[in-house]
Amino acid sequence: MTLGTWDPNIANKKLEAKETDLANYIEWGAEEIVESQCKNLPPETLSILIPLMKQSRTFWQEATESLVVDDVIKLIRFFTLAEEHNSQLEAGNDSPVIGLTRALKSRGESLDKTLLLWIRQHSSNRYLPNGSVL
């Protein structure tokens, strides 16, 4: 068993969402493979995801500006299950799913009822998909 290091300032670090990483997460977010991909994330992928999990909603808005709605939805699916199946990715009210949902809303899009129910069935994060009320 190996132990990682914890950096309390990780949320404050300026990160860039690499297009290649986002493309992988979009691909993994496809309905037929998302569950198996998220249950078996390799340590290298987890080390990339850990700092992404606490990024601001603005970060996700900017990172997804050029993506089509379907790809943002795949990212929502991926991050919902990645957080659920990997305890080191728990993000609570800072979850990327919230930022991604808000990015869609800023485009005038909303999550359909089927996806809302899917998120609630597949996540124990009580803040998903819209964040805290306050």
Residue-wise pLDDT tens digits, 82-109: 999 999 999 999 999 999 999 999 999 9
What CA–CA distance (Å, rounded) separates 114 from 7? 37
The mean pLDDT of the chain is 88
Domain boundaries, the chain: 19-122
- Residue 64 has what pLDDT? 94
Tokens of 95: 């979850």
Specify the pTM: 0.83
Tokens of 92: 């609570």
Tokens of 109: 């899009």
- Residue 24 has what pLDDT? 87
Q: pLDDT tier at 30 (50, 70, 90 boundaries)? A: confident
38 burial type by CB count under 10 A (0-12 exposed, 13-18 middle, 19+ buried): buried
